[in-house]
Amino acid sequence: MYGSLVENIRLRQREGFLPVLSEIKVRSPKEGDLLRGRDPTLLAEIMCKCQIAGLSVVTEFDNFGGDLDLIETLRPDVKVPILCKDFHKEVNDLKLAANVGADAVLLTVSMLNDEQIILLHETAHSLGLETLLEIHSLAQLQRIIKLGIKPDILGINNRNILVFETDDGDVSLTEELASHIPSETLLLSESSIKCPKDARRARDAGADAVLVGTSILVANDTVKAINELLNVGWNGKS
């Protein structure tokens, strides 16, 4: 483990950057191969030369081609917090993520019942992991609020993970839901952020940070793509 993703997001805000989580993702159902022959370790090192707030690593295999070994391989060279992005449903999933060096874990509200959400949220904290609770609708947000859970980070996935992000979502979902988020909640806008304009829309709607995967991975110049997002800047609410 490296450190707190929450604290790193706040640090980037204080530095005047829009906090960006870049992503290592082997493939996607919509875009196919995303590494395109590149070594993920070298790619992660390039990403970390920019002032990213953290690195998301997709470890789900069936749809996205990842595995936990990817985090274990990257961890020694990645000097920012790592988010383990998978469909975590069991306590053991979180233990395995912690064992390979993750700092935070994704909990997808649409795939979990109330008891699972509570158990996994509490277990993550007991393991020293921060939680990213991901929603895709107002009803899912209301579930979280009703349960009394205060996630370390609340994520709005602009695409529908139940169809493995093959839909054409956009930042309008963040714009729609952000006003319903409790003001003290750290908000992450995820997916469908294709350019600085999209990132600016997310920020202006109330997002504290953005998670950008595919558009960075397919960019001709990784560093330029990340820096353009960072330079959207922070005018924020912290």
Which pLDDT tens digit goes with each residue over 136-173? 999 999 999 999 999 999 999 998 666 555 556 789 99
Taking residues 3-28, what's their average pLDDT?
Answer: 97
- Average pLDDT, whole number, for the chain? 94
Q: 3-state class of 158 per DSSP?
A: coil
pLDDT above 50: residue 238:
no
Q: 3-state class of 132 per DSSP?
A: strand
- Which domains are present in the chain? 5-230 (3.20.20.70)
Any idea of the CA torsion for 67, 70, 75, 80, to the nearest 10 degrees? Answer: -80
Q: How confident is the model at residue 76 (pLDDT cuts 50, 70, 90)?
A: very high
Predicted TM-score (pTM) of the model is 0.94
pLDDT above 90: residue 181:
yes
pLDDT in tens, 24-71: 999 988 889 999 999 999 999 999 999 999 999 999 999 999 999 999
pLDDT of residue 2: 83
Q: 3-state class of 177 per DSSP?
A: helix
Beta strand 32-33 pairing with 20-24: unpaired
